[in-house]
Chains A and B, each alone.
Chain A
Amino acid sequence: MRNAAKPLLEVNNLQMHFPVRGGFFRRKIGEVKAVDGVTLSINKGETLGLVGESGCGKSTTGRSILRLLQPTAGQVLLEGEDITSVKGKKLWDIRKDMQMVFQDPYASLNPMQMVGNIVGEPIRNYYPKKKSEEIKQEVADLLKRVGLPEEAYYKYAHEFSGGQRQRIGIARALALKPKLIIADEPVSALDVSVQSQVLNLLNELQDEFQLTYLFIAHDLSVVKHMSNRIGVMYLGQIVEIADKGSIYENPLHPYTQALISAVPDASKVGEKRDRIVLEGDVPSPENPPTGCPFHTRCPKAIDKCSTIKPPLKEVKPGQQVACVLYDESLLKS
């Protein structure tokens, strides 16, 4: 899987800064640096997981890649082609290859439309000449594939449970046979038993349709289950990116270490754990700390951390970390 020649998606130094307006004439008085220099790549057929706490910019990263938001700087390459500033017809064509599965299965489906129409709409949009019979058959096949009953076609979204609605959202994302699916917290609104059904479905579909996933979630165990590689985000930046085994067994960045030790673990009943409990909250992205964004909460912070902003650097094969402690040239400087 990994040795495919070219990555499907490459993101270079992506930035998404939102202006903060206020005062007289609603002048720009500041910036929220939601995504501040994210670099990543995903190979064909691979799943890259993005984890981090709320407000760290995972969703904004996903939306900027899809061009649902216009990134303020940086580059997004899909199959080697720069799509950061394509417009009009070109963008319309490219969107066919990238689809999204949303977090809230209640808000992301139109309550006024039949499920058959919701799933068929992308096909009708992109292939207006297709016969309606043909589209209907395609939609029926899709619904069947995601495990919905045949009669679902003529029902409305409110008649389904949360898990079934998420299946409808997945069927819609599959309708145009995309190459990349960005799944933004697809299971966080679901109960555990239903969550596992949807996760299994996503895995099956990936094998069947050779899909590439960018899987965004805050639940570290879910991300680990789904991904080949994992990127850990903090305040708009990736602080560590590695294959899932290394992230779990040998996390290097102090934030990753704290994050993993904070996950309650059902296998550790009655054992006393040395948990790293972080102090305080995530700082506001409107006024991020200087230097390393994590230094205000980092248990291993040194003086340099407040002045030097460490870049992402390969520390071990396949494991990149943005931390002064692993960067000898920065430590000496």
Chain B
Amino acid sequence: MREVSNSQAILEVKNLESAFMIEGEEYNAVDGVSFQVQPGKVVGVVGESGCGKSVMSLSIMGLLPKGIGKVAGGEIIFDGKHLEQLPDQKMNKIRGKEISMIFQEPMTSLNPVFTIGYQLEEVLHNHFKISKEEATKKIIQLLDAVGISRPNKIIKDYPHQLSGGMRQRVMIAMAIACQPKLLIADEPTTALDVTVQAQILELLQDIQRKNDMSIIFITHDLGVVAESCHEVIVMYAGRIVEKASVERLFKGPKHPYTKLLMGAIPRLDETVDELETIEGIVPTLTKMPSVGCRFANRCPQAMKECVEVTPQLKEEESNHEVACLLYEASRPEEEVSR
């Protein structure tokens, strides 16, 4: 893949730490995550539930629950602006216009007491000076673009009158209404049936290409990642354990966690007697080990050093980074002492 210099990245996350207050103490749900999103690229984020995928995306959007969660460290640079320092008012201008988000559950993320048309209009009125007629015209165009037939009728409907797939299309229409540069899609197809999922994935790809938009695609489905992303980030317990282009990751996963994750999924094209399993579960936030690899207690290849040394994300091959001691032949001294 092309080497693109840092300045061109649409989003750059550096050493992000997102902390939650639990019984008076701060715990990092996202702990030192760094990555970039290049313009027009789709970056997939995978991992089990509780590994910090959603907290990371809420941090970028500035939507962590006030008083409980906050960005405790690191930088989020979007289009040259430091998002973590922006006051709410300015963030409101960016949110929905330049970065927007689609959520997993299309029912709970639409307001049940307003019509589809009203909710879409609200987005446009918030960000543009636009007359009512113009707004209606734009909305019908948008609904048309996301493949909704009879948009004239749909704008008068309420969310409960639509099926799950239709609601997700409305959510996408809302998210792309202002032609954002970055779309964060948090499990956008998890609640949908496979045939509808195929429709929505196709639609997202179309829009992404047409608008040259970047997407952060959060999912736990590796099949979805393989088909719709350019780059993949594998997260475990708040940290990135592996980062690679989609081809490299699927042809040669390196981190033991990624390998197990891939072996744990039954595949349509091959038959195995027994699936790989990962013993245990993701440690909870309050019980996260402070030193060492966080996957060590579940890792079949764990060594003695794994609980003593925190592995750093390092480039193993071009476009393929992994945070695992197995790949650190020569460990610098200062890391051992950490």
Contacts and interface: CB of A to CB of B under 8 A. Distances in A.
Contacts, number: 124
Given A262-B198, A263-B223, A281-B163, A193 B193 contact: no
B329 interface: no
B195 A258 contact: yes
Interface string B263-275: 1111111111011
Interface string B20-48: 00000000000000000000000000001
Interface stretch (B67-75, B90-98, B243-251, B315-323): B243-251
Contacts of B220: 191-192
Interface in A187-218: 191-197, 199-200, 203, 218
B165 interface: yes
Which of A222, A224, A269 has the largest count of B CB atoms less than 10 A from its CB? A269
B276 interface: yes
A218 B267 contact: no
Given A192-B261, A266-B262, A275 B198 contact: yes
A191 B224 contact: no
Contacts of A192: 48, 220, 222, 261, 264-265
A200 B276 CA distance: 9
Contact of B226 (A199, A220, A268): A268
Contacts of A278: 195, 198-199
Contacts of B226: 264-269
Interface residues of B, number: 47
Contact of A263 (B264, B268, B277): B268
Given A196-B277, A268-B226, A220 B265 contact: no
B265 A277 contact: no
Interface string A254-278: 0000111111111111100101011
B81 to A, nearest CB: 34
A244 to B, nearest CB: 8
B274 A163 contact: no
Which of B222, B266, B270 has the largest count of A CB atoms less than 10 A from its CB? B266
Contact of B268 (A53, A163, A265, A275): A265
B194 A218 contact: yes
A73 to B, nearest CB: 28
Contact of B194 (A220, A224, A270): A220
A221 B227 contact: no
A221 B267 contact: yes
A265 B269 contact: yes
Interface in A96-116: none
B275 A225 contact: yes
A221 B279 CA distance: 22
A282 B269 CA distance: 27
A156 interface: no
Give the interface size bracket for A toward B. 35 or more
A196 B275 contact: yes
A202 B3 CA distance: 48
A122 to B, nearest CB: 28
A273 B198 CA distance: 12
Contacts of A307: none
A18 interface: no
Interface string B194-208: 111111011000000
Nearest to A255: B195
B168 to A, nearest CB: 11
B227 A265 contact: yes
Contacts of A221: 265-268
B166 to A, nearest CB: 7
A248 interface: yes
A224 B266 contact: yes
Given A53-B195, A193-B48, A266-B226, A281 B165 contact: yes
B6 interface: no
B246 A269 contact: yes
Contact of A264 (B165, B201, B250, B272): B201
B221 interface: yes
B251 A269 contact: yes
Contacts of B262: 266
Contacts of A277: 195, 198-199, 202
Contact of A200 (B48, B269, B275): B275
Contact of A194 (B224, B267, B274, B281): B281
A266 B222 contact: yes
Contacts of B195: 53, 258-259, 262, 277-278
B251 A225 contact: no
Contacts of B223: 263-266
B276 A196 contact: yes
Contact of A53 (B194, B221, B272): B194
A226 to B, nearest CB: 8
Interface in B134-186: 163, 165-166
A240 to B, nearest CB: 15
Interface string B212-226: 000000001111111
B260 interface: yes
Interface of A: 53-54, 161, 163, 191-197, 199-200, 203, 218, 220-222, 224-226, 248, 258-270, 273, 275, 277-278, 281-282
Given A53-B194, A192-B220, A263-B268, 20 more contacts: A192-B222, A192-B261, A192-B265, A194-B281, A195-B264, A197-B278, A199-B275, A220-B194, A225-B275, A258-B195, A264-B201, A264-B223, A265-B227, A265-B267, A265-B268, A266-B225, A266-B226, A268-B226, A268-B227, A277-B199
9 contacts: A192-B222, A195-B264, A225-B275, A262-B197, A264-B221, A265-B226, A265-B268, A267-B269, A270-B247
What are the 3 tightest A-B residue pairs by CB atom distance, in nearest-first order?
Answer: A264-B223, A225-B266, A196-B275
